[in-house]
Amino acid sequence: MKNNMPAVSIIIPIYNSSQFIIKTLISLEAQSYNNYEIILINDGSTDGSLNILMDYKKNKNNIILHSQKNSGVSVARNKGIELANGDFIAFLDSDDTYSPTFLEKMLAKQKENDANIVYCGFNRIDISGKLSPIYNSFMEGNILNPYLQRNGYFHFSGMLIRKKILTDNLIYFELGCNISEDLLFTVKLLSNFDCYCVKEYLFNYVQRTGSVMSSLWYEDKWLADIQGRQKILLYLLNNYDKDDKQEIIKLASAFIFQREISYLIDCIKKMNYKKIKYYLKQTDFLDKEILFNEHKLNNKDKNKFKVIQKNNRVIWFFYTLYYRFFRLNVKFFK
């Protein structure tokens, strides 16, 4: 590491984040380790975020502020990688936070193993403020298989990544992709490098009303998410060359299939039957049933698939009634 250079560059893309960005920055001020820089990428905000950032930056020598026209989160993060001076990079969204010992413990683990990638567990904070640790099996080494199975899932913002492996291997975020862009980025890392972990929950993912993931899912969002997962499969087909490739490809296929099931069930709930029939006609969705026989998906997904597979409006209608008037009412009165 060069003299006077930060060890870690924390990249934060910002778009209309005026209501919560200061809380995120305060969580960084509270870090027990302080040799870091913050790279703020203002992605064309129109709500006064830029003024807040400019004011916050005053009298602070560890902040880089870059403002650009609105280009999407992938472009913003890639710009952050370009501007980063640290040997290691972490990505943080503008409404999420780190525990005070995040950097200290992640860097200690990195040094212990000379690791290219270190990850930790994360907490989900819901709209009411309730904090829930998300189960993590804390596996180490080649963890692509359990990642694709969501076996002990971790969030990419709970990672510390050696910058050199990104630039040397041209691992960046997919342009034009604002849904599932973090999944493809993470798969690229996991398919090439071993991981080590801090067995603690040091990153806090905040579910916020109006965010991309918490807002209502409409057709374009579903299809963009499916397309993002298809890019993961294509990447692995073309680039993954380890002994377990056949198994990994099956898991990546199931990763897509699971999302397709969720999309079509959502169409059933909304009584968009024409969209279901069109999707079944235009894709190989029904041919993927073999993935259940290979135990790549669970029984819950299998039952949903059977409903879709019937290709019958009457059955779909009664499923909609069940969902709207029985299942939701049971949940309400619990």
Q: What is the pLDDT of residues 53-88, one digit of tens each?
A: 999 999 899 999 999 999 999 999 999 999 999 999
C-alpha pair distances (Å), 68 with each of 48, 54, 79, 91: 14, 14, 10, 18
Q: Residue 315: inside a domain, yes or no?
A: yes
Q: Are residues 40 and 91 in the same domain?
A: yes
Query: Which of 126, 124, 232 minimizes the C-alpha distance to 179?
Result: 232
Domain boundary among 177, 206, 235: 206
Q: Are residues 79 and 186 in the same domain?
A: yes
Q: Residue 162: inside a domain, yes or no?
A: yes
Q: Are residues 200 and 226 in the same domain?
A: no
- 291 Cβ contact list (under 8 Å, min separation 6): 250, 253, 254, 257, 297
Which pTM was predicted? 0.89
Residue tagged 């870091």 (tokens): 36
CATH number of the structural domain spanning residue 192: 3.90.550.10
Q: Are residues 247 and 191 in the same domain?
A: no
In terms of residue numbers, what domain contains 138? 8-206
Q: What is the pLDDT of residues 232-256, one digit of tens each?
A: 999 999 999 999 999 999 999 999 9
Q: Are residues 37 and 170 in the same domain?
A: yes
Q: Considering only 2-6, 53-57, 101-105, 286-290, which range has the smallest mean pLDDT?
A: 2-6
Q: Are residues 201 and 227 in the same domain?
A: no
Domain count, the chain: 2
The answer, yes or no, to whether residue 161 has pLDDT greater than 80, is yes
CA 265 from centroid of its chain's CA atoms: 22
Q: Residue 2: inside a domain, yes or no?
A: no
Q: Are residues 74 and 189 in the same domain?
A: yes
Q: Are residues 35 and 133 in the same domain?
A: yes
Q: Are residues 147 and 229 in the same domain?
A: no
C-alpha pair distances (Å), 168 with each of 57, 108, 234: 31, 24, 21
Q: Residue 301: inside a domain, yes or no?
A: yes
Q: Residue 105: inside a domain, yes or no?
A: yes
210 — pLDDT class (breaks 50, 70, 90): low
Q: Are residues 230 and 191 in the same domain?
A: no
Q: Are residues 254 and 151 in the same domain?
A: no
